[in-house]
């Protein structure tokens, strides 16, 4: 194999890794409202992926994060399609990138020597929403979702006083989509976190997460209690009938009763950068969080000529502010154990306000980084919330006279030996799932929606099950002592019944979900699916050798070694054996082998799910339908063969009836599964 072939293979491997990671982070940010990396880290990965895809020179798939927006909408809410896609914005982080943006605009427009008017808007740190009005009446509100389809959050949006239900002005378009940002003020955010702490709940990291989590509540009363606000910044369908410029559009939206931010105009880069400096100084004193400015070509005719890329318009760019940096003092340095056993130094700080949130702890990343920066107990340091999310120590202002804590040789939680792999800076607890700290986080991962989807087993319940000694491995979930749980405060019969039902539903998971749920290092959802497709059974995967693993696209030597190490670990094998003995039997499901044609009454049929099912979550129902040989579609059309309708089925059911498409209920689905021997 020559060097060119090797380089191409390495390039493809890195591209696969970046796509996988970015998709995961899109899900955490847009669906779970719980980002686990900073905006800056995300942007760096996205830019690297763009560069490598260009370098590779092959067609870029439509589902690459460089060509998509957001993440698929959660199945907890009804999907709503946007009349016009809701694109994301490209980012600029320094003056040169703003100059490049302006040059590209003028080159396309051929206006190098004439004036191009820009409108400058503060970039709110909130959640994008599409409001659809028909004949002036608000008919639904949807989140951005994947840019084409979002989640219906109409009932929650109606609790926001800033958003009018009815537009009474004459001459409005028959259909008008108003776009804007739902946000939480600094005061409302502080009040919400005070309440969270009084209730013993985890405080929100920042106003953006708080706003997103509040808007996506299943109970509108919870949303109403959290004091959300709204600013309009644009329109989709109907926009061209309202205005011919962005500045005029905002005036029209204000006249219709929507709150609109104060904006500025500029005709060159000097004006844009001058405005940037002014707003950056204003930022700390504002009532709500902004994380930059948005520069838009004002004239819609120019916007149309400039067009859009797959995920962002060419006529606008977001100029991000640098993360706030605040000095404070380190009171102590403790060691924290993560799900995969990584032991991380964490600085305990004198509490300080950073980016609108109180920060009392900050990551030091790893022992080598802590030593490189000269961080000690007692040091005065600069702290920032990276991407305005994750608190981190940037550097020491003065090192002080305190000590640098020794790197532990035993796990601070369970006392097991600490190991350090060659060529790694991280240190790890060697105990695996027998370590309580790893167990809690492994359980949280195991029960999560993308894994075993055990609804009701939240973080607090998982922690108490471990602390009370009821669960010492993930397998113990399937042998819970419900009599002891019955004595716990707040654990009524309905709650217990729901927990039992969730466990029963999960006893036959799709193989790829089970693999992902095990929490094997380096094995995310995409890799788990590929492993399931390649091996078809858990037994075959556990017996796989290094060469057969490496032969799978996206599985390199490091991932292969991690998989083999996991299944060779006696404790992990014992846990898997216990799961199997307690009736958890992974199925090939959608990732592997469907039912045989004779057993598959829906083989080759296109089926649409609508409404709420009693015995299955939406994802579980989809997997069972695929095992019956069906293709699951999200929309009803003349090509649909069946519609399965649960409670509160809406427009899809009505459309199915109008088209004469057969409709089944959940009991029929269960009967089909029994006939095929799958239930």
Question: Residues 521-558: pLDDT tens digits?
Answer: 788 887 888 898 888 889 889 999 988 898 887 688 88
Question: Residues 433-471: pLDDT tens digits?
Answer: 668 888 888 898 899 888 999 989 988 899 899 889 899
- pLDDT at res. 504: 92
N-terminal to C-terminal alpha carbon distance within the chain: 50
Task: Report the b/e string of 276-307 with b at 16+ CB within 10 A.
Answer: beebeeebeeeebbbbbbbbbbbbbebbeebe
User: Which residues are registered as beta bridge partners of 647?
Assistant: 612
Q: Alpha-carbon Rg of the chain, whole angstroms?
A: 27
pLDDT interval class at 591 (50, 70, 90): very low
526 contacts: CB under 8 Å, gap ≥ 6: 19, 20, 23, 554
- pLDDT at res. 273: 96
pLDDT interval class at 596 (50, 70, 90): very low
Q: Are 396 and 379 in contact (CB under 8 A)?
A: yes
Helix, strand, coil % in the chain, rounded to nearest 5: 40, 20, 40
Give which of 125, 92, 88, 93 is closest to 290, Cα–Cα.
Answer: 125
Instruction: Identify the residue whose tokens are 């030996």.
Output: 417
- pLDDT at res. 679: 61
Q: What's the predicted TM-score (pTM) here?
A: 0.49
| Residues acting as catalytic residues | 123
pLDDT interval class at 199 (50, 70, 90): low
Averaged over 358-385, what is the pLDDT?
A: 85
Q: Are 665 and 645 in contact (CB under 8 A)?
A: yes
Of the ranges 174-183, 209-218, 396-405, 592-601, which is most confident?
Answer: 174-183
Percentage of the chain exceeding pLDDT 70 = 89
pLDDT interval class at 38 (50, 70, 90): low
Q: Which of 88-92, 288-292, 520-524, 599-603 has the lowest average pLDDT?
A: 599-603
- pLDDT at res. 598: 44
- pLDDT at res. 593: 39
- Give yes or no for residue 369 having a pLDDT over 60: yes
Q: Are 618 and 567 in contact (CB under 8 A)?
A: no
Cα 369 to Cα 141: distance, rounded to the nearest angstrom? 46
- Give yes or no for residue 254 having a pLDDT over 90: yes
Cα 481–Cα 472–Cα 446 angle in degrees, nearest 5 = 95
Cα 235 to Cα 297: distance, rounded to the nearest angstrom? 15
- pLDDT at res. 450: 82
Averaged over 207-216, what is the pLDDT?
A: 85
- pLDDT at res. 667: 87
* 275 or 195, which is more confident: 275
Averaged over 242-263, what is the pLDDT?
A: 94
Cα 331 to Cα 117: distance, rounded to the nearest angstrom? 51
Give which of 179, 175, 304, 298 is closest to 248, Cα–Cα.
Answer: 298
Q: Are 39 and 320 in contact (CB under 8 A)?
A: yes
- pLDDT at res. 205: 66
For all residues of the chain together, what is the average pLDDT?
A: 84
User: Which residues are registered as beta bridge partners of 264?
Assistant: 120
Averaged over 76-85, what is the pLDDT?
A: 85
- pLDDT at res. 350: 92
- pLDDT at res. 266: 96
Of the ranges 21-25, 356-360, 445-449, 627-631, which is most confident?
Answer: 445-449
Question: Residues 143-178: pLDDT tens digits?
Answer: 998 888 888 998 889 889 889 999 988 889 999 999
513 contacts: CB under 8 Å, gap ≥ 6: 450, 451, 452, 453, 528, 586, 589, 623
Question: Residues 320-332: pLDDT tens digits?
Answer: 987 677 889 999 9
Question: Residues 288-299: pLDDT tens digits?
Answer: 989 899 999 999
State whether the Cα torsion 101-102-104-105 is positive or negative. Answer: positive
151's tokens: 């989640």
Cα atoms in the Cβ-side hemisphere of radius 13 Å centred on 447? 25
Backbone angles phi, psi at 608, to 5 degrees: -115, 135
The full set of domains in the chain, from first to last, is 3-68 (1.10.287.610), 81-320 (3.30.470.30), 325-428 (2.40.50.140), 433-581 (1.10.150.20), 595-675 (3.40.50.10190)
653's tokens: 């059911």
């Amino acid at each position: 194999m020559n060097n060119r072939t090797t380089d191409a293979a390495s390039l493809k491997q890195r591209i696969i890794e970046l796509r996988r990671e970015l998709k995961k982070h899109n899900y955490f940010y847009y669906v779970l409202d719980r980002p686990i990396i900073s905006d800056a880290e995300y942007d760096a990965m996205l830019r690297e992926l763009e560069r490598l895809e260009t370098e590779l020179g092959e067609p870029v798939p439509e589902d690459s994060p460089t060509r998509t927006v957001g993440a698929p909408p959660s199945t907890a809410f009804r999907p709503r399609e946007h009349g016009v896609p809701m694109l994301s914005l490209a980012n600029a982080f320094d003056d040169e990138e703003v100059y490049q943006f302006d040059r590209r605009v003028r080159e396309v427009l051929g206006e190098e020597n004439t004036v191009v008017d820009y409108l400058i808007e503060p970039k709110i740190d909130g959640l994008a929403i599409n409001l659809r009005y028909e004949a002036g009446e608000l008919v639904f509100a949807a989140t951005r979702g994947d840019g084409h389809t979002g989640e219906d959050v109409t009932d929650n949006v109606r609790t926001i006083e800033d958003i009018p239900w009815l537009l009474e002005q004459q001459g409005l378009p028959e259909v008008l989509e108003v776009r804007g940002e739902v946000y939480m003020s600094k005061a409302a955010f502080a009040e919400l976190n005070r309440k969270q702490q009084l209730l013993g709940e985890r405080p929100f990291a920042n106003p953006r997460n708080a706003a997103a989590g509040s808007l996506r509540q299943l109970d509108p009363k919870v949303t109403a209690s959290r004091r959300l606000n709204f600013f309009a910044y644009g329109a989709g369908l109907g926009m061209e009938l309202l205005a011919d410029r962005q500045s005029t559009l905002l005036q029209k939206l204000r006249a219709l009763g929507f709150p609109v931010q104060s904006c500025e105009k500029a005709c060159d880069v000097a004006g844009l950068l001058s405005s940037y400096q002014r707003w950056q100084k204003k930022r700390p004193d504002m009532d709500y969080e902004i994380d930059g400015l948005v520069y838009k070509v004002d004239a819609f005719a120019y916007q149309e000529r400039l067009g859009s890329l797959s995920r962002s318009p060419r006529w606008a760019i977001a100029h991000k502010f640098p993360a706030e940096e605040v000095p404070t003092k380190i009171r102590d340095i403790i060691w924290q154990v993560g799900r995969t056993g990584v032991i991380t130094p964490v600085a305990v700080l004198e509490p300080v306000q950073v980016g609108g949130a109180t920060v009392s702890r900050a990551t030091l990343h790893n022992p080598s980084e802590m030593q490189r920066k000269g961080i000690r107990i007692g040091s005065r340091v600069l702290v920032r919330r990276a991407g305005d999310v994750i608190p981190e120590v940037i550097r020491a202002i003065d090192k002080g006279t305190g000590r640098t804590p020794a790197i532990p040789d035993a796990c601070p939680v369970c006392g097991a030996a600490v190991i350090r792999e060659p060529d790694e800076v991280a240190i790890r607890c060697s105990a695996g799932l027998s370590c309580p700290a790893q167990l809690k986080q492994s359980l949280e991962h195991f029960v999560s929606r993308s894994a075993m989807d055990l609804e009701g087993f939240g973080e607090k319940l998982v922690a108490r099950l471990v602390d009370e000694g009821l669960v010492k491995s993930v397998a113990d979930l399937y042998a819970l002592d419900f009599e002891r749980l019955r004595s716990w405060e707040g654990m009524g019969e309905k709650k217990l019944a729901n927990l039992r039902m969730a466990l029963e539903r999960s006893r036959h998971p799709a193989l790829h979900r089970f693999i992902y749920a095990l929490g094997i290092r380096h094995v995310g959802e995409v890799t788990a699916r590929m492993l399931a497709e390649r091996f078809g059974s858990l037994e075959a995967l556990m017996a796989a050798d290094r060469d057969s693993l490496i032969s799978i696209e996206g599985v390199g030597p490091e991932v292969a070694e991690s998989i083999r190490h996991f299944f060779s670990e006696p404790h992990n094998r014992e846990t898997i054996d216990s799961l199997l003995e307690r009736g958890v039997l992974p199925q090939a499901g959608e990732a592997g082998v469907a039912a045989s044609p004779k057993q598959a009454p829906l083989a080759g049929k296109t089926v649409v799910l609508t409404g709420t099912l009693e015995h299955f979550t939406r994802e579980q129902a989809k997997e069972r339908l695929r095992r019956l040989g069906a293709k699951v579609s999200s929309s009803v059309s003349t090509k649909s063969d069946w519609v399965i309708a649960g409670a509160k089925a809406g427009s899809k059911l009505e459309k199915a009836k109008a088209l004469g498409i057969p409709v089944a209920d959940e009991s029929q689905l269960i009967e089909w599964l029994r006939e095929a021997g799958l239930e």
